[in-house]
Amino acid sequence: MSQKPKSFIEVDSENHFPIQNLPYGVFRTVKNPKPRVGVAIGDFVLDLSEVERRRMLSGCDLPQSPVFDKSALNTFMKLGRPVWRKVRRRLQELLSAENPELRDSDGLKTECLIPMAETVMLLPVEIGDYTDFYSSKEHATNVGIMFRGKDNALMPNWLHLPVAYHGRAGSVVVSGTDIRRPKGQTRPDDSRPPRFGPSRLMDFELELGFFIGPGSEPGEPVPVDRADEHIFGMVLVNDWSARDIQKWEYQPLGPFLAKNFATSISPWIVTLEALEPFRVPAVAQDPEPMPYLSRPDDWTYDIQLQVSMQGANMVREKIICRSNFRYLYWTINQQLAHHTVSGCNMRTGDMLASGTISGPTEDSYGSLLELTWRGSKPIQLAEGEERKFIADYDRITMRGWCEGDGYRVGFGEVTGKILPAE
């Protein structure tokens, strides 16, 4: 196949799903409500359960039992990188403008290619465990300055290890799911007792997450230079946060109710193979990490990110943040290596998220906490509205993509609307 493969399906240069991408997701339709696996190509979904049923994936080392006629991607993810690469090459071959197999068969195209507008996207993975990191130096510094002052912005351990906490996998939801404003204890006035009620300081966190393919055994750490062998692909993540609940509860053990009510992810998983052309050198680290975290050729990805907000009375959304995944201090390889160095095992479907991705400029901060600097600098929106934090019926939408030569490899979007507390 040529260096710049072209599909027989027309794909606009700004569409996130050209033949160079082919992200995986799980979907259903009104006509066929059974969940199954597909890949995105332009404005269509290629139904892999149908492709598999018609034996069009021979030579890809797939097992005899169905892999894609499933309600989650776990079975495929567990098979490992050699199989993933073979399936990807075969799908690019099937969708190529030079291959007549699908291109010239109207019957096959009707059965296998479904307009994306006719699909309902579902959670793509059965998530066993979810860990949220805190890997942006800019974000950690900003938050530290707000709460501890400039001289103590970073905690003593931050430059030595990827800080993280265990989240709740059961409340991870797919893009488009509305989020109910959470309730909890807050203490806005330190001179008065805490109170109970809806969070008044709702926030988003701009993140990316990655899914584990082949797992690891208990007691056997994943080496940093082999970490990517265990990573299937990445999604956009909005780790919704109730800042007032968080402020009162997080000492000494960290977030709990402030985070456990919902985490939204995009429905399409972009594979590491699709992201390979967009590798860039990782951020220089000082001090040098310990040997188990040290990979001289470590890399990250040049993924452009943006966040939009749209209030109930706004005609259109407004972009309030532009950031980039490459700003992260700790890489995905280091995150996985650190997570397992204690002997913690990984399982297929586990999700690890980056933590808020903030850049060096005020418009690249990945949360309202930073963008409004704890509410002291409200964001000006359309129709004369402003925001310090998220109001009821506000919609937050995040998008991300890599920019190629005349094409994009993108994640689509993760979007959600905040509903009033019950």
The CA distance from 243 to 255, in Å, is 10
Domain boundary among 93, 122, 151: 122
pLDDT greater than 50 at residue 418: yes
* Domain-embedded: residue 14: no
Question: Is 139 labeled as catalytic in the residue annotation?
Answer: yes
- Span 124-145, pLDDT tens digits: 999 999 999 999 999 999 999 9
- Span 176-191, pLDDT tens digits: 999 999 999 999 999 9
Mean pLDDT of the region 141-152: 94
Regarding whether 378 and 295 lie in a shared domain, the answer is yes
On average, the pLDDT of the chain sits at 97
* Domain-embedded: residue 3: no
Q: Specify the pLDDT at position 392.
A: 98
Regarding whether 316 and 412 lie in a shared domain, the answer is yes
Q: Residues 237, 254: contact at Cβ < 8 Å?
A: no
β-bridge partners, 122: 26
Q: Specify the pLDDT at position 3.
A: 56
* Domain-embedded: residue 12: no
Query: The domain spanning residue 30 has which CATH number?
Result: 2.30.30.230
Mean pLDDT of the region 30-43: 97
* Domain-embedded: residue 100: yes
Q: Specify the pLDDT at position 154.
A: 96
Domain boundary among 78, 97, 122: 122
- pLDDT above 90 coverage of the chain, percent: 96
* Domain-embedded: residue 333: yes
Query: The domain spanning residue 332 has which CATH number?
Result: 3.90.850.10
Mean pLDDT of the region 259-271: 98
Regarding whether 142 and 31 lie in a shared domain, the answer is no
Mean pLDDT of the region 361-377: 98
Mean pLDDT of the region 169-173: 98
Regarding whether 182 and 82 lie in a shared domain, the answer is no
Give the residue numbers spanning the domain of 233. 130-419
Regarding whether 147 and 76 lie in a shared domain, the answer is no
Lowest mean per-residue pLDDT among 50-54, 89-93, 247-251:
247-251
Rounded to two decimals, the pTM is 0.97
* Domain-embedded: residue 269: yes
Mean pLDDT of the region 85-101: 98
Regarding whether 79 and 157 lie in a shared domain, the answer is no
Q: Specify the pLDDT at position 383.
A: 79
**Selected residue with higher pLDDT from 422 and 416:** 416
Domain boundary among 122, 157, 189: 122
* Domain-embedded: residue 189: yes
Regarding whether 46 and 152 lie in a shared domain, the answer is no
Q: Specify the pLDDT at position 382.
A: 85
Mean pLDDT of the region 13-18: 98
Regarding whether 198 and 73 lie in a shared domain, the answer is no
Regarding whether 138 and 47 lie in a shared domain, the answer is no
- Span 288-328, pLDDT tens digits: 999 999 998 999 999 999 999 999 999 999 999 999 999 99
* Domain-embedded: residue 10: no
β-bridge partners, 133: 164
Regarding whether 141 and 115 lie in a shared domain, the answer is no
Regarding whether 139 and 271 lie in a shared domain, the answer is yes
Our count of domains for the chain comes to 2
Regarding whether 214 and 96 lie in a shared domain, the answer is no
- pLDDT above 70 coverage of the chain, percent: 99
Residue among 139, 230, 338, 339 flagged as catalytic:
139
Q: How far is CA 65 from the centre of its chain?
A: 30
pLDDT greater than 90 at residue 1: no
